[in-house]
Amino acid sequence: MTKLSSLQSGTLGELLAVAKLNSLGYAAYMSPEGAPGHDIMVVVSGHAKSIEVKTRQFLKRPSEITRWPVNMDAKGGADFFIFIELDIRSMSPKFYLLTNLQARETFKDYVGGGNCAPPHVRRVAAANDFSALIGD
C-alpha cells in the first residue's frame, strides 16, 4: 500500500470534510478552484463561513504525521481550519476543527512557510468534534 499524491489526498480531504459537514446538517460546499484563502464554505446560523482544509495521511499510525503545512499569509483569513488525519489503509479520516485563533496558536512560522503541529492541534481540539461551529 502506498500513499496518495498530495493533490489526491488534499482533494479527498476536502470532499470528506464537505460530506462530514453535510452529514451533520450543515450546508457545506466546495469553493471554486483557486478561491483565495479557503477550500470550503459552510453555512452556520445563516452566515457563510470559510474553512481551510489540510490533509495528511499515514500508513500505520497517526504519529507518522509530523506537520500540517499552512501558509498563514495566504490562508490565515479563513474562519476555521480542518486538519485531517487520513488512515490510508481504511480511508478513515479523523477531523480536527479549529477556529482561526486556535489554528494560529498551533502555528509555527518559518522563513518561506509554516506548520501547525499535530500534537498541539490534537490538544486543542478533540477528533471529530465540530462544536466550534456552534460557538461562532
**Across the chain, what does the average pLDDT equal?**
92
**Would you state the pLDDT for residue 13?**
97
What is d(CA 17, CA 22) in angstroms, rounded to the nearest whole number? 9
- 72 located within any domain: yes
- 73 located within any domain: yes
> What is the per-residue burial (b if ≥16 Cβ within 10 Å, else e) of 2-30?
eebeeeebbbbbbebbbebbeeeebebee
**Would you state the pLDDT for residue 35?**
80
- 1 located within any domain: no
What is the number of domains present in the chain? 1
What is d(CA 106, CA 21) in angstroms, rounded to the nearest whole number? 23
- 85 located within any domain: yes
- 92 located within any domain: yes
- 111 located within any domain: yes
- Asked if residue 18 has pLDDT above 70, the reply is yes
- 22 located within any domain: yes
User: For residue 114, what is the domain's CATH number?
Assistant: 3.40.1350.10
- 89 located within any domain: yes
**Would you state the pLDDT for residue 33?**
81
What is d(CA 4, CA 56) in angstroms, rounded to the nearest whole number? 10
pTM of the model: 0.93
* pLDDT digit string, tens, across residues 35-88: 878 999 999 999 999 999 999 999 999 999 999 998 887 787 899 999 999 999
Instruction: Tell me the C-alpha to C-alpha distance, in Å, between residue 98 and each of 62, 80, 89, 113.
Output: 18, 6, 26, 19
**Would you state the pLDDT for residue 112?**
67
| Residue 92 structural domain | 6-133
